[in-house]
Structure 1
Amino acid sequence: MTPLITAQDIPYLPRGVRLQDDRLRGIRVLQAPERAMQLDQIGDAILGELDGARSLDQITRNLAARYDAPVEEIAGDVRDFLIGLIERRMVFIREAA
């Protein structure tokens, strides 16, 4: 069985999906057509790295450097979070060129 995302794949937010501040509630949300998902600080940090150019590996390394955490320790959590959003069609991936 092939994984939904590999270290070289590039995750991105598809058209119509965006990060947004819910000022009324004071939270960050991932907004998609007909649905929204409340984000915690970790989810917001991960999604903030999605620029359509960086691979999962690059994103994981950036987060590890920013939060002074071992790459091996956070890689699985980042991948699992993104897989959940891929399954909900709130994050898409493309293979690196």
Structure 2
Amino acid sequence: MSPSAAQPVSTVTPDKTPRLRRGFRLQWEPAQNGHVLLYPEGMIKLNDSAAEILQRVDGQRSVAAIVADLSERFPGVPGIDEDILAFLEVAHAQFWIELQ
């Protein structure tokens, strides 16, 4: 097995700047009692962690800045940086976000 087959190449790196894809909108939905990601075909109800991350995805902040901000907001959470990167990888794979 080649090294690249053993470990997928990450597309989310600290220097990238994520933004929501065109047509996607993050908002608080009182009926859902939580944040949702709206898009033309539907809606995704987000858990609190996903909402905290996506609230910082503004096309201006880098992945490193998002990680730093959340690490400061939630000090002492073990593995928070890996969790943020993993979520952003999923969000990118699901086409919720784009990376610049």
TM-score by length of 1: 0.85
Once the two structures are TM-superposed, the CA of residue 25 in structure 1 deviates from its matched residue by 2.5
1:26 matched residue in structure 2: 33
Q: Which has the larger radius of gyration?
A: 2
Q: Which runs of 5+ in 1 are unaligned?
A: none
Once the two structures are TM-superposed, the CA of residue 39 in structure 1 deviates from its matched residue by 0.9
Runs of 4 or more above 6 Å deviation: none
Separation in structure 1 between the aligned mates of residue 26 and residue 67 of structure 2, nearest angstrom: 19
Instruction: Give the length in aligned residue pairs.
Output: 93
3-state SS, counterpart of residue 23 of structure 2: coil
User: 1:3-82 maps to which residues of 2 (within 5 A)?
Assistant: 3-69=10-76, 73-82=79-88
Separation in structure 2 between the aligned mates of residue 51 and residue 20 of structure 1, nearest angstrom: 13
3-state SS, counterpart of residue 81 of structure 2: helix
TM-score by length of 2: 0.83
1:84 matched residue in structure 2: 90
Separation in structure 2 between the aligned mates of residue 35 and residue 80 of structure 1, nearest angstrom: 23
CA RMSD of aligned residues (A): 1.6
